[in-house]
């Protein structure tokens, strides 16, 4: 059973101060490259001054990367963990991002408000995935673009990546850096509870996204990109 939303929010608020450092070490810096690639897909073909949503924006790495690649974009970052957003506010470029503390199941935006939306390592934490995807479909304009960067449950077991690296070594690294053992045990547990990429892509189609495509990212498909319109 998924953890209560209040528990997950409190966990992210607890680790906000060391979240970025832990991510860089645990991914060997690859999370930065994954976001850059995701934004190239997200921003391709949209107008310079388009409204762009970052759902589950955390400490604003995604939102700042959007503005790095598209300085004229109007970026809105939403997360239910206020401390994460506050932690990201001091980053270079973050002053141009509009910050909203809100629930991804009930987004406070009108229908079709955004030309595009990004979500990095967030949808796995939604307590009601179908509801969250329906909200994303609602706030993205017709033919608008959604890009998801996520850790999906592998379709087949991978002894090294899943059993050793993600299952054992990453929680120990996260604990050593972040000082919160339960928070970094949550990572592999939440992946194992989540969808495979194929299952998730099916749910996006059910939510109303007609064109859905996914791809594995280096190394070994640890992370995946899913693009939908």
Provide the CATH number for the domain around residue 145.
Answer: 3.40.50.150
Q: Where are the alpha helices (DSSP H) in 89-228?
A: 129-139, 170-178, 181-193, 197-206
- DSSP annotation of 3 reads P
112 assigned to some structural domain: yes
Low-confidence ranges of the chain (pLDDT < 70): 1-3, 158-168, 170-175, 220
22 assigned to some structural domain: yes
Number of compact structural domains in the chain: 1
Query: What mean pLDDT, rounded, does the chain reach?
Result: 90
184 assigned to some structural domain: no
Residue numbers of the domain that contains 17: 5-156+195-228
Beta strand 140-150 pairing with 224-228? antiparallel
- Please report the pLDDT score of residue 182 as a whole number: 76
183 assigned to some structural domain: no
188 assigned to some structural domain: no
173 assigned to some structural domain: no
- Please report the pLDDT score of residue 22 as a whole number: 82
Residues 106-141 pLDDT 10s: 999 999 999 999 999 999 999 999 999 999 999 999
60 assigned to some structural domain: yes
Cα separation of 212 and 229, whole Å? 7
- Please report the pLDDT score of residue 197 as a whole number: 97
103 assigned to some structural domain: yes
- Please report the pLDDT score of residue 218 as a whole number: 81
Cα separation of 113 and 24, whole Å? 32
- Please report the pLDDT score of residue 185 as a whole number: 76
């Amino acid at each position: 059973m998924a953890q209560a939303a209040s528990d997950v929010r409190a966990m992210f608020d607890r680790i906000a101060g060391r979240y970025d450092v832990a991510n860089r070490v645990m991914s060997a810096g690859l999370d930065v490259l994954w976001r850059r690639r995701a934004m190239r897909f997200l921003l391709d073909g949209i107008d310079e001054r388009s409204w762009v949503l970052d759902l589950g924006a955390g400490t604003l790495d995604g939102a700042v990367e959007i503005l790095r690649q598209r300085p004229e974009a109007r970026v809105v970052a939403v997360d239910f963990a206020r401390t994460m957003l506050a932690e990201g506010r001091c980053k270079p470029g973050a002053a141009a991002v509009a910050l909203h503390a809100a629930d991804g199941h009930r987004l406070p935006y009108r229908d079709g408000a955004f030309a595009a939306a990004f979500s990095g390592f967030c949808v796995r934490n939604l307590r009601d995935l179908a509801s969250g995807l329906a909200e994303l479909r609602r706030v993205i304009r017709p033919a608008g673009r959604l890009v998801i960067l996520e850790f999906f449950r592998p379709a087949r077991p991978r002894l090294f990546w899943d059993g050793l690296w993600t299952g054992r070594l990453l929680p120990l690294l996260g604990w050593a850096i972040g000082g919160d053992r339960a928070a970094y045990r949550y990572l592999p547990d939440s992946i194992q509870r989540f969808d495979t990429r194929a299952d998730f892509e099916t749910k996006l189609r059910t939510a109303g996204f007609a064109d859905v495509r996914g791809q594995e990212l280096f190394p070994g498909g640890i992370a995946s990109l899913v693009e939908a319109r």
